[in-house]
Amino acid sequence: MHKTWGGRFREDTDQRVEEFTESISFDQRLYAQDIAASIAHARMLAKVGLLTADEADAIVQTLEAIRAEIETGRFPFRTKLEDIHTHIEHALIERLGDVGRKLHTGRSRNDQIATDMKLWTREAIDTIGRLVRDTQRALIEAAERNADLILPGYTHLQRAQPVLAAHYFLAYVEKLERDRTRLFDCRKRLDELPLGTAALAGTSLPIDREFVRQQLGFARLAANSLDVSSDRDFLLEFVFALSMIAVHLSGWAEEWILWSTVEFGFLDLPDAFCTGSSIMPHKKNPDVLELIRGKSARVVGDLQRLLVLVKGLPLAYNRDLQEDKQAVFDAFDTVAACLQLAAPLIQAVRFRREAIAQRLDDGFLDATTLMEYLIQLGMPMRSAHEAVGKLVRRCEERRCRLADLPPEEYEAIRPGLSSGVYQIVGVQNALRAFRSLGSTGPEQVAAQLRRWRERLDQDVGI
């Protein structure tokens, strides 16, 4: 068996060590990135005269053949060959002999793995970006479908003020937009080529990093070899951005789990997205939403794992860094899977409009608007707060709504109040009164919806 570490070693590696140190079981996922980077590297070596043109051609063709074998499941992966870099180099040497032994000129597995992970993360960000967009589209369509529906809005999970369903959906569109731009910020920052920084100090060979940069489509060259060899910031940022998505989805899932209960009765989840009970014949459980909520724990755990992994590592590369991959892949796979289910679930949900409307009068959703009306009539805010608080108490005594209080109750607060107040109280009236920018007022929401619709219709990517 060919040993990449060569002459320094007299003994074969202990089999237990091979099993303990291998990463091929999970880094084989990086084969396409590893081969793309090797092809760029080989072409560069030919350009600067460290390979002949024929040697580079042979290497490139063989790398492409290896890629095809991996893709069709014909390539043997072996624990003994440790990682994806060694596997591919080993296969190259098996086929090309001395020419294959030249590929690793002027590079190290340290700059190779950093390059592979950056290439992989760039694509992963694009994938998640698209999935987030799909979810945003589903939310906007749901906002358009339910444009006139009024929902109770909550703080502390207590009824607070009325909100339009469209406003509710757009709230998540905004959260996801921050998540998307956070991902693309991370993408911009990571867009620096590591390859050519070699093990930690660079190389004395006349390599051309700028050429490789262009081949692999990186925006800039990473400037400091010592930094690059140890840098995993981009993976931490990426997994943080994924954690935010997972946490946002988890809050939304919790909301809909509650809303689908008999106690709330706000919505019907599609049968196709629920599961039954093995013993209770009547049950329809929101398992998909529960798992979206539950899987956020994995992603947050992955972030934690990475933070602890890099804490206290001296410069430059340390083998600890091999442990980054499973956390990153798991966070990506988990968030991608959650987003893939979120969009169709949002598309298929149905609100129980009647049931929501029937109970909209519970909870004094119009009280704050009434207070603001008194403020507009000249009453100091604190006095208006006090006065409406008393009116709410009167309603509780009489078991009625603010809109049902007789005129004398309002006259007692302020003479003349009863003439205009009945156009203010009542949930519909209260909702129409909102007008501040970004509020749930119908004109504001219509404008937000238009803005989002236009933005998505001419989706500019970032």
Between 123 and 162, how does the x/- string for binding to ligand ARG read (CB under 6 A)? ----------------------------------------
d(CA 237, CA 55): 39
Judged by CB under 6 A, which of 41, 43, 109, 295 binds ligand ARG? 109
The answer to whether 321 contacts ligand ARG (rule: CB under 6 A) is: yes
The nearer residue to ligand ARG, 131 or 321, going by C-beta atoms, is: 321
Least separation in angstroms between CB 220 and ligand ARG: 23
Q: What mask of x and - would describe binding to ligand ARG in positions 9 to 48, judged by CB under 6 A?
A: --------------x---x---------------------
Shortest Cβ 109–ligand ARG spacing (Å): 4
**Is 235 among the residues that bind ligand ARG (CB under 6 A)?**
no
Nearer to ligand ARG, 332 or 364 (CB): 332
* Options 113, 235, 245, 338; binder of ligand ARG; rule CB under 6 A: 113
CB of 286 to ligand ARG, least distance (A): 39
Q: How many CB atoms lie within 10 A of CB 361?
A: 17
Q: How many CA atoms lie within 13 A of 378 on its CB side?
A: 5
Distance (Å, whole) CA 379 – CA 387: 10
User: Which lies closer to ligand ARG via its Cβ, residue 203 or residue 383?
Assistant: 203
- CA-to-CA distance for 153 and 365, rounded, in angstroms? 8
Q: Is 230 in the site for ligand ARG (CB under 6 A)?
A: no
The least distance separating ligand ARG from the CB of residue 145, rounded to whole angstroms, comes to 47
**Closer of 113 and 236 to ligand ARG (Cβ):** 113
Vertex 157: Cα angle to 148 and 426 (nearest 5):
45
Q: Where are the beta strands (DSSP E) in 156-227?
A: 158-164, 192-193, 220-221
Torsion of CA 237, 238, 243, 249, to 10 degrees: 140
Q: In the complex with ligand ARG, which residue's Cβ is closer, 112 or 135? A: 112
How many Å from the N-terminal Cα to the C-terminal Cα in the chain?
A: 48
DSSP character at residue 285: B
Question: Residue 93: CB partners within 8 Å, gap ≥ 6?
Answer: 2, 100, 101
**Which of the residues are catalytic?**
156, 277
The verdict on 83 binding ligand ARG (CB under 6 A) reads: yes
Regarding 448 and contact with ligand ARG (CB under 6 A), the answer is no
Q: Of 319, 397, 437, 454, which lies in the binding site for ligand ARG, with binding defined by CB under 6 A?
A: 319
**Nearest distance in Å: CB 439, ligand ARG:** 51
The least distance separating ligand ARG from the CB of residue 273, rounded to whole angstroms, comes to: 38
From CA 214, how far away is CA 382, in angstroms rounded?
Answer: 65
Cα within 13 Å of Cα(406), Cβ side: 2
Residue among 90 and 293 whose Cβ is closer to ligand ARG: 90
CB of 23: closest distance to ligand ARG in angstroms?
A: 4
Are 404 and 392 within 8 A, CB to CB? no
Q: Which stretch binds ligand ARG (CB under 6 A): 109-117, 132-140, 147-155, 378-386?
A: 109-117
Stretch that binds ligand ARG, among 31-39, 151-159, 319-327, 402-410 (CB under 6 A): 319-327
For residue 116, the minimal CB distance to ligand ARG (Å) is 9
Size of the site for ligand ARG (CB under 6 A): 10
Write out the two tokens for 161: 């003020």
Distances, alpha carbon 260 to alpha carbons 145, 253, 254, 270, 357, in Å: 19, 11, 10, 11, 16
Binding test (CB under 6 A) with ligand ARG, winner from 33, 215, 230, 322 = 322
How many angstroms separate the CA atoms of 57 and 171, rounded? 54
Which string of b and e fits 376-402 if b means at least 16 CB within 10 Å? Answer: eeebeeeebbebbeebeeebeeeeebb
Q: Are strands 220-221 and 267-268 parallel, antiparallel or unpaired?
A: unpaired
Contacts to ligand ARG by CB under 6 A: 23, 27, 83, 109-110, 113, 317, 319, 321-322
